[in-house]
């Protein structure tokens, strides 16, 4: 094992000690959100360190076995232990390297799966229907839950557009590799002359964002003005400065309330209105960001803009990103996608590992 990798685990050992101390602090249990974050990180780091300690133990076992080689009576047993320990070290080394790779925090989220017909007219819509069926069957295989959110069916069947929500274990982490242009080569059901046509669809996979949490307003970012209420309400509203206007300085958003006699209650209501407006602003900005992400994910929908080709006459699937070709197309379109996705995940891990080692 390289020294740089050992140093990373030494730092993780120090972090584990810090987490132990933090979790033992009496004040942490009162903050459930913080407590959950710390316990989650503690479980991850503790698991890594346990595996690293197993690696260190097998290193010691290997060294001891090599010393026994000089003893003729123990040599045979030592050889067996050397073979076993070497194999364990190689396996554990690979696991430890993989465990240190940067992880996408969205991988465990549910996902929105959007399929849209592209070039190819009716045949493209039929292919979009086939892709939807493929993903739904794959979700069923993995025990995921699916929900059709919207659909636009074509006249001959299939979809002009379909949007699904998929929920389950590691949904986005598995499906995110499906984003892009998908091209099909086959004889369409609408083709009378038996000619092979090429059509295309686009797929976009987006992680579902966290449910909106309560907006935490920083008092330093607020300007709170009191003023005398106006309008109906009798004598009281005209005599006291019970109305409240709150300005969120970073965004310029303003909320005010003057319908209660209590300045305190008016302030609470105005804060709630301001929080709702900030939440809506964040939601709108997120939607705009997702729209831009979707555009970058799916490309133009043209035949030449593709990540994968489904060639039915040859029974062949080719993923162009990793030059993967499989001659089991029917099984794949029936939902057996694991081999493809596993290969894509492995290729991504190899890239991350190369970057990790080059940066070390």
Q: Give the whole-angstrom CA distance, residue 127 versus residue 183.
A: 9
Residue of 276, 97, 54, 312 whose CA lies nearest to 188: 312
Structure tokens at 129: 């229907």
Question: Do the domain assignments include residue 308?
Answer: yes
* Same-domain status, 199 and 330: yes
User: In what helix (H) or strand (E) does residue 354 lie, and over which residues does it extend?
Assistant: helix 338-359
Q: Give the whole-angstrom CA distance, residue 93 versus residue 89.
A: 6
How much is the pLDDT for 5? 78
How much is the pLDDT for 200? 93
* Same-domain status, 59 and 204: no
> Could you say which DSSP state residue 189 is in?
T
User: What is the CA 29 to chain-centroid distance, rounded?
Assistant: 28
* Same-domain status, 65 and 188: no
How much is the pLDDT for 145? 96
Question: Do the domain assignments include residue 184?
Answer: yes
How much is the pLDDT for 212? 45
How much is the pLDDT for 341? 95
Question: Do the domain assignments include residue 307?
Answer: yes
Rounded alpha-carbon distances, angstroms, from residue 47 to 36, 51, 138: 17, 6, 30
- CATH code of residue 69: 1.20.58
pLDDT tens-place values along the chain, 360 residues long? 777 778 888 889 999 999 988 888 888 878 787 888 888 888 888 988 999 999 999 999 999 999 988 888 888 898 999 999 999 999 888 888 777 777 777 888 888 898 999 887 888 999 999 999 999 999 999 999 998 888 788 888 889 988 888 999 999 999 999 999 999 999 877 666 778 889 999 998 888 876 545 567 788 888 988 877 655 444 444 456 678 888 889 888 888 777 667 778 788 877 877 877 787 677 678 777 777 766 666 665 555 568 999 999 999 999 999 999 999 999 999 999 999 999 998 888 888 877 766 654
Report, in angstroms and rounded to the nearest whole number, the Rg of the chain calculated over CA atoms.
Answer: 30
* Same-domain status, 207 and 115: yes
Q: Which of 266, 288, 310 is the last residue of a domain?
A: 288
Question: Do the domain assignments include residue 47?
Answer: yes
For residue 219, count CB atoms less than 10 angstroms from its CB and return exposed for 0-12, middle for 13-18, buried for 19 or more: exposed
Question: Do the domain assignments include residue 105?
Answer: no
* Same-domain status, 58 and 77: yes
Locate tokens 């009576």: which residue?
73
- CATH code of residue 278: 3.30.160.20
* Same-domain status, 188 and 332: yes
* Same-domain status, 231 and 273: yes
* Same-domain status, 12 and 86: yes
Task: Provide the β-strand partners of residue 270.
Answer: none
* Same-domain status, 131 and 251: no
Question: Do the domain assignments include residue 294?
Answer: no
* Same-domain status, 95 and 179: no
Q: Which of 99, 122, 149 is the last residue of a domain?
A: 99
Residue of 77, 333, 10, 4 whose CA lies nearest to 184: 333
* Same-domain status, 277 and 309: no
- CATH code of residue 312: 3.30.70.1660
Question: Do the domain assignments include residue 326?
Answer: yes
Domain that holds residue 276: 219-288
How much is the pTM? 0.63
Question: Do the domain assignments include residue 269?
Answer: yes
* Same-domain status, 141 and 14: no
Q: Which of 288, 309, 336 is the last residue of a domain?
A: 288
How many domains does the chain contain in total?
Answer: 3
- Give all strands of the β-sheet with 222-227 in edge-to-edge order: 222-227, 243-248, 253-257
Q: Give the whole-angstrom CA distance, residue 76 versus residue 65.
A: 10
């Amino acid at each position: 094992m390289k020294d740089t990798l050992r140093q990373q685990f030494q730092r993780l050992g120090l972090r584990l000690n810090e987490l132990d101390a933090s979790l033992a602090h009496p004040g942490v249990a009162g903050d459930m959100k913080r407590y959950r974050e710390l316990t989650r990180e503690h479980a991850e780091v503790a698991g890594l360190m346990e595996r690293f300690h197993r690696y260190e133990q097998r290193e010691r076992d290997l060294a001891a076995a090599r010393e026994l080689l000089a003893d003729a009576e123990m040599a045979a047993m030592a050889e067996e232990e050397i073979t076993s320990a070497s194999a364990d070290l190689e396996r554990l080394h690979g696991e430890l390297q993989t465990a240190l790779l940067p992880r996408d925090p969205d991988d465990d989220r549910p996902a929105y799966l959007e399929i849209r017909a592209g070039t190819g007219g009716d045949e493209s819509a039929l292919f979009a229907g086939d892709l939807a069926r493929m993903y739904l069957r794959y979700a069923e295989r993995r025990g995921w839950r699916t929900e059709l959110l919207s659909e636009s069916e074509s006249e001959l069947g299939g979809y002009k557009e379909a949007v699904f929500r998929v929920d389950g274990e590691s949904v986005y982490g598995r499906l995110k590799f499906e984003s892009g242009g998908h091209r099909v080569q086959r004889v369409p059901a609408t083709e009378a002359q038996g000619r092979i046509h090429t059509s295309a669809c686009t797929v976009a996979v987006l992680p579902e964002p966290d449910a909106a949490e309560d907006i935490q307003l920083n008092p330093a970012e607020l300007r709170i003005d009191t003023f005398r209420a106006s309008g109906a309400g009798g004598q009281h509203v005209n005599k006291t400065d019970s109305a409240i206007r709150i300005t969120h300085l970073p965004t310029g958003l303003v909320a005010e309330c003057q319908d209660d006699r209590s300045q305190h209650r008016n302030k609470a209501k105005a804060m709630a209105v301001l929080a709702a407006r900030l939440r809506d602003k964040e939601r709108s900005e997120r939607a705009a960001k997702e729209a831009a992400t979707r555009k970058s994910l799916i490309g133009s929908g043209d035949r030449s803009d593709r990540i994968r080709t489904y060639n039915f006459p040859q029974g062949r699937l080719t993923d162009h990103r990793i030059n993967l070709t499989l001659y089991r197309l029917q099984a794949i379109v029936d939902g057996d996608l694991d081999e493809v996705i596993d290969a894509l995940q492995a290729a991504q891990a190899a890239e991350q590992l190369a970057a990790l080692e080059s940066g070390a």
